[in-house]
Amino acid sequence: MERPSFHLSNEEIHRFLDQGYLGPFTLCEPDEMAHYRKKVEEMIDLTVERSNTLQNRHLDCRPAYELCTHPALLDRMESILGKNLVLWRSYFFVKYPGSKAVPWHQDINYWPIEPPLNISAWVALDEAIIENSCVQVIPGSHRNMVPHLKSEGTVFREEADPAFYDSSKAIPMELKAGQFFLFSERILHYSAPNSSNKRRLGLAVRVTAPFVKVYQKNDPHNNVLLVRGEDEMKLNTVGTPPLG
């Protein structure tokens, strides 16, 4: 039986290009996500909020790989980036009660990719709502690059210069467990300190095209994965998925 297609309509593609984000969409229902969450909790230490051990676990944790390569994500990314897709990074963003803000920022400010092209999916493993600090975005903010300054009191070292954005235009991306949204490498986004008593766990999935060079930091295990189509460019070291 043919699997369902999740490709975007022309209207959705234009909305993504115009607004810099799109969604929410459903990857799976909350009860199926509860299974993924349990497996991820068994395999990954989520007690530390910022750690290399939360990065690129799609390379050695099969449930993380399955989430990162789910057709609900990749079909939609393919509609925008074309048929050849490279998964070059992922990160588990966990926020416990009392955790600090992720400051307003544009991801491309920090990233070692050239040319600067990426679509991220932020996948909710826990429900992510305003109360437990869901991600917020400023629609259309991907159209300008914003300088970044040193950040104090947040979980990042740098943040977007507040003179260059209006946070009153922010939209909270509230997601049920199993939902996700897509966003550009340049959209301004943020999450507030978590003042609720609920954890918020999400997986950020970073996908680009094979003509983008990823400048990895001398890490032989930090390979990219070709997750759709062909890689005629061979700019990056391509790894293999974890066994199921």
Ligand X SMILES: O=C(O)CCC(=O)C(=O)O
Chain positions contacting ligand X, by CB under 6 A: 93, 102, 107, 120, 122, 135, 189, 191, 202, 204
Question: Hey, CA dihedral for 128, 107, 117, 165, is it positive or negative?
Answer: positive
Shortest Å distance, C-beta 225 to ligand X = 18
**Cβ closest to ligand X, residue 189 vs residue 228:** 189
H-state helical runs in 20-138: 30-43, 62-68, 71-81
Burial 181-193 (b: 16+ CB within 10 A, else e): bbbbbbbbbbbbb
| Residue position matching structure tokens 């290399």 | 52
Instruction: Using the minimum distance from each CB to ligand X, give the nearer residue, 150 or 234.
Output: 150
The residue among 65 and 180 lying less far from ligand X, judged by its C-beta, is: 180
Q: Angle CA(205)–CA(209)–CA(212) in degrees, nearest 5? A: 105
CB 122 to ligand X: min, Å: 5
Please check whether residue 138 is in contact with residue 199, taking contact to mean a CB–CB distance below 8 angstroms: no
Query: Between residues 130 and 233, which has the closer beta carbon with respect to ligand X?
Result: 130
Q: How far is the CB of 11 from ligand X (least distance, A)?
A: 25
Residue 12: which H helix or E strand, with range? helix 10-19
Closest distance to ligand X from the beta carbon of 152 (Å): 17
Q: Which residues contact 220 (CB under 8 A, 6 or more apart)?
A: none
Measured from the CB atom, is 95 or 228 closer to ligand X? 95
Min dist. Cβ of residue 120 to ligand X (A): 6
User: Read out DSSP for 119-153?
Assistant: EEEEEESS-B-GGGT--EE-TTGGGS---EEE-SS
How many whole angstroms separate alpha carbon 98 and alpha carbon 187? 26
- DSSP at 168: G
To ligand X, the closest distance from the beta carbon of 108 in angstroms equals 10
CB nearer ligand X, residue 84 or residue 120: 120
